[in-house]
Amino acid sequence: MTELTRPLSPRSARAHATALAAARALLGEGGLPAATVDAISLRSGVSKATLYKHWPSRTALAAEAFGREMADALPLPSTGDPRADLVEQVRQVSAFYAGAKGEVFAQLLAACVTDPSAAPYFREFFLDGRRAAISVLWQRLVESGLASPTVDAETATDLLFGPLIFRRLTGHAPLTFAEADAISSAALEGLLKRE
């Protein structure tokens, strides 16, 4: 448990949860631009003052809402073939980025650049989750002897997803499965051990 997830009084917990639900709904309807503080307050019935007692900024609130929603949306593949699992995960994630949720992801990532107070929330509730998932897959590869233990999961994650995210942000190239495969295979060639 971190500083961002301390226990709350029942009343506070209710306000907290209600606000998150409203934010999630608004994010789904119109992305981050729709998740206005006033809109969240209005829909949830939680006052603005209370919102700012729970989160340092609107972006932080949205980041937590988004992160919690995504927590279960991207299940870990587990076919037994570690390499295939990782490739599959990259494909899934690239599909995610290409879709509507990917748009929200991009908006949040962008917003965190401007609003540093939100970054910890985005990391805590979204990025760390993704990263942990990859760590598991990576660990399996290392244990299978396919990947070198000298490359840490951090670097592997960045190599596998950084390119996809970069494309998503700049929109200079499409995010198809083919592209995802090209990237993941190239990256994995570099990451995995030679025979």
50 binds DNA (CB under 7 A): yes
Which of the stretches 45-53, 97-105, 143-151, 165-173 binds DNA when contact is defined by CB under 7 A? Answer: 45-53
Helix locations, the chain, DSSP H: 10-34, 37-44, 48-54, 58-70, 82-98, 100-114, 119-122, 128-143, 153-170, 177-191
Report in angstroms how near the CB of residue 41 gets to DNA at its nearest. Answer: 7
Maximum pairwise Cα distance, the chain:
61
Which of the stretches 22-30, 67-75, 85-93, 171-179 binds its own copies when contact is defined by CB under 8 A? Answer: 171-179
181 binds its own copies (CB under 8 A): no
183 near 164, Cβ under 8 Å? yes
Q: Which is nearer to DNA, 28 or 129 (CB)?
A: 28
107 binds DNA (CB under 7 A): no
Q: Which of 12, 47, 78, 155 binds its own copies (CB under 8 A)?
A: 155
CA atoms within 13 A on the CB side of 122: 21
Task: Please give the distance of CA 15 from its chain centroid, rounded to a whole number.
Answer: 24
* Dist. CA 176–CA 166, nearest whole Å: 14
123 binds its own copies (CB under 8 A): yes
Q: Which of 96, 97, 122, 125 binds its own copies (CB under 8 A)?
A: 122
134 binds its own copies (CB under 8 A): no
* Dist. CA 81–CA 50, nearest whole Å: 48
142 binds its own copies (CB under 8 A): no
54 near 4, Cβ under 8 Å? no
Q: Which of 25, 27, 107, 118 binds its own copies (CB under 8 A)?
A: 107
What's the chain's length in residues? 195
User: Which value, to the nearest 10 degrees, does the dihedral of the CA atoms of residues 7, 10, 15, 21 take?
Assistant: 80
Binding residues for its own copies, rule: CB under 8 A, are 33, 106-107, 109-114, 119, 122-123, 127, 131, 151, 154-156, 158-159, 161-167, 169-173, 179, 182-183, 185-191, 194
Binding residues for DNA, rule: CB under 7 A, are 8-12, 15-16, 18, 33, 36-38, 41, 45-50, 52-54, 57-59, 115
